[in-house]
Amino acid sequence: MSVATERYARSQANFAAAQAVIPGGVNSPVRAFRGVGGTPIFFDRGQGAYVWDVDGNRYIDYVLSWGPLLLGHAHPTVAQAIAEQAQRGTSFGAPTELETELARLVIDLVPSIEQIRFVNSGTEATMSALRLARAATGRRLIVKFTGCYHGHADMLLVQAGSGVATLGLPDSPGVPPAVAAETITVEYNDLDAVANLFANRGAEIAAVIVEPIAANMGFVLPKPGFLSGLREMTQRYGAIFILDEVMTGFRVAPGGAQALWGLDPDLTCLGKVIGGGLPVGAYAGKRQYMQLVAPAGPMYQAGTLSGNPLAMIAGLTTLRTAFANDGAAFEQAVTLTTNLANGLRDLGTRYRIPLQVGNVGTMFGCYFLRHPDAQITNYAEAKANADTQRYARFFWAMAERGVYLAPSQFEAGFVSTAHTAADIEQTLAAAEEAFAQL
Ligand code: PMP
């Protein structure tokens, strides 16, 4: 990888220092840039659509903390709300009005949700939702899809996406085989395989958990009928249908993928945007299931910092701002995302670079394909057909031109309400120069 080292000198020094005291120098694996080579860029600050690294380089940011920053960095209203709340106390370990306010707002926005429990990360959300599904059904098996990532709980670190995919890791050591054995994986978009599984073991299956867009192996859309088929099948066999909207929630539409595509899951997992850049997750859904959660019911789940006022006010302010005025700010971000995706498709055609570009709402993905007629509809195809080396060259060519993309081919991109038409134009101009070199 030819990376202009002097441009990133301070990041490199920072990384060396971090590696001495933090495993791999990072607190979450994808940050280590194994997917694109070179050393990670250390950030200093962000404002709106931009981030500045410790060497003073500015970037248009399409990672946005991996999705949460729907309004961009340090949105003044959010920053002020957090600061004011911090003056009043950061955590009480006791209920506050803010939790009910955010709960109400989410229930108004997301069609299937009747009750919600806040936690501190997406990992906690999916882990708790699965415990609830097992409690509700008295069954043990979980069905997940290869290349989908639902956080790092033991039973979900099986054939997972995101950093596990980037690093090409086998299933993680430390997960007891007995736990892994209760998670059955199926290729994404393969409804027939799910039907077979239910036909054979339907009475043992507690839940099917799925990303409505598989955005932790790049950006793979569900085939028509796939998600509704899962809904129908889980219903028929008495299993819980869990839609993991940690990434798609408030990103593909105000009501998430379920509103966009008319899905009615039993449980929904949320995270990222719901905390406006502070650590939050949530699991939510039908009252009949949520009422099983302690203290309303017997299924235990708790958290010292759960529903803490800083995270609640950041989430509330983010959602209110994005969706005020009939969602004008959100719609503008959707338009820009569409323009960006169309621009990339057009460049691919003009420079004869085989691409698979996807976009829904404010999310997008761009695979570089090994062959012009290759297609990616699941994880096996992503591994076989995505040209990760070309992506790595593209990533660094864009970074040099002031555009920060996900440092891995197997991750999605995000646009914020702070991005402007000029940012998209500048990004496409940079991409054109990069494509000319590829
Ligand atoms: N579910 C999905 C769909 C995700 O994309 C992620 C994280 N990217 C998670 C769950 C886990 O969330 P967290 O990193 O907050 O634990």
At 173 the pLDDT is 86
Among 190, 171, 170, which Cα is nearest to 181's?
171
Helix (H) or strand (E) holding 76, with range, is: helix 76-88
pLDDT 10s digits, 30-42: 999 999 999 999 9
Q: Are 102 and 315 in contact (CB under 8 A)?
A: yes
ipTM score of complex: 0.99
Q: Tell me whether domains 5-74+326-437 and 78-322 share a fold.
A: no
**pLDDT surpasses 80 at 169:** no
Confidence tier at 3 by pLDDT (50, 70, 90): low
Give 127 Cα–ligand 1 centroid separation in angstroms: 11
Residue 338 tokens read as 């569409």
Residue nearest to atom 13 of ligand 1 (CA): 122
Q: Are 220 and 382 in contact (CB under 8 A)?
A: yes
Q: Are 410 and 162 in contact (CB under 8 A)?
A: yes
Q: Are 227 and 210 in contact (CB under 8 A)?
A: yes
Task: Kindly give the number of the ligand 1 atom that is closest to the alpha carbon of 28.
Answer: 14
At 171 the pLDDT is 75
Query: Residue 121: CB within 6 Å of ligand 1?
Result: yes
Q: Where are the domains of the chain?
A: 5-74+326-437, 78-322
Q: In one letter, which amino acid is 1?
A: M
pLDDT 10s digits, 120-165: 999 999 999 999 999 999 999 999 999 999 999 999 988 888 777 7
Give 67 Cα–ligand 1 centroid separation in angstroms: 10
Please give the distance of CA 58 from its chain centroid, rounded to a whole number: 24
Q: How far is Cα 135 from Cα 300, in angstroms, rounded to an integer?
A: 10
Residue 81 tokens read as 């709300």
**Which residue is it, tokens 């950041």?**
314
Among 51, 55, 14, which Cα is nearest to 33's?
14
The catalytic residues are 149, 244, 272
Q: Report, in angstroms and rounded to the nearest whole number, the Rg of the chain calculated over CA atoms.
A: 21
Residue 8 tokens read as 């990133």
pLDDT 10s digits, 215-260: 999 999 999 999 999 999 999 999 999 999 999 999 999 999 999 9
- The CATH class that applies to domain 78-322 reads alpha beta
Tell me if the domain spanning 5-74+326-437 has CATH number 3.90.1150.10.
yes
**pLDDT surpasses 90 at 10:** yes
Confidence tier at 172 by pLDDT (50, 70, 90): confident
**Overall pTM > 0.90:** yes
Q: What is the DSSP string of 194-225?
A: HHHHHHHHGGGEEEEEE-SSB-SSS-BPPPTT
Give 148 Cα–ligand 1 centroid separation in angstroms: 10
Query: Residue 46: CB within 6 Å of ligand 1?
Result: no
